[in-house]
Amino acid sequence: MEHGAAIGMEHYLTVEFLTAIGQIVLIDILLGGDNAVVIALATRKLPPHQRKLGILWGTAGAIGLRVVLIFFALTLLKLPFLKIVGALLLLWIGVKLLAPQDDEGHGDVQAADKLWAAVKTVIVADFVMSLDNVIAIAGAAQNAGEQHSMLLVVFGLLLSVPIIVWGSQLVIQLMQRFPVVITLGAMLLGWIAGGLLVTDPAVERWVQSLPFAEFAEKIAGVFGALFVWLMARWTYRHAKAAVAARQS
């Protein structure tokens, strides 16, 4: 019996298996942070008791999407223009989250509506951002061998839950103390969007032919982050001018 258990442990305690676990932990910490930022941005204006619900449902949506995407991600990422559409969605969400909210005329809107609006924002952004996350986890799991891949994928998905929940609560606290974190979080979405744009199968070959191809993803990320910031600034000034016009 003990001999069988030892063989069973040896079956899992391989260099490939342990390496895959290490890679998945790192992937979850690095990529789960993006999801935490989105949840924090979308739920920061909710009342404290609803904020917890927003984080809970937003995280549940993120994990649910990853479970679904794990079966379709490889095929989806090969579809031309999908990443481009996703990048445009992220840019829009980044600008929307950073732009000022006009609360006039919305006094009759129920808090639950705002809660579900926040959850929907989280789920849309997570759908786009989870593609690369799922692919990274699946790739790391496959490197350990097919007999371990599904176990490692499930491990990666379960591990991402506490990272996202704890991370989003930490980011909200940072936002309350340092408002600049809100700007940086929205610009992060722009950065991710820029990377998605230049890695879409529809344009990837053209991008690879450019003399600065090896830096294309970083350059696109910088432009995406700047676009979100500039559009948010323009929206802020436009809203301020509209308020001044109403008051005069």
Domain ranges of the chain: 2-247
Give the number of other CB atoms < 10 A from CB of residue 94: 29
Task: Evaluate if pTM is beyond 0.85.
Answer: no
Residue 169 pLDDT level (bands cut at 50, 70, 90): confident
Distance between CA atoms of 152 and 205, rounded to whole angstroms?
33
Q: 1 falls in which pLDDT band (50, 70, 90)?
A: very low
Q: Are 170 and 32 in contact (CB under 8 A)?
A: no
Cβ contacts of 119 within 8 Å, gap of 6 or more: 42, 54, 57, 58, 61
State residue 230's pLDDT score.
92
The rounded distance, in Å, linking the Cα atoms of 95 and 227 is: 9
What residues have CB less than 8 Å from 223, skipping those under 6 apart? Answer: 194
State pLDDT tens for residues 192-232. 888 888 888 888 889 888 888 888 888 999 999 999 999 88
Written as six digits, the tokens of 14 are: 């391989």
The closest alpha carbon to 59, from 225, 193, 171, belongs to 171
d(CA 118, CA 115): 5
- For the stretch 106-133, pLDDT in tens is 344 344 568 888 888 887 777 777 666 6
Q: How confident is the model at residue 24 (pLDDT cuts 50, 70, 90)?
A: confident
> What does DSSP assign to residue 213?
G
Which residue matches tokens 């891949």?
A: 149
The torsion angles phi and psi of 178, rounded to 5 degrees, stand at: -130, 90
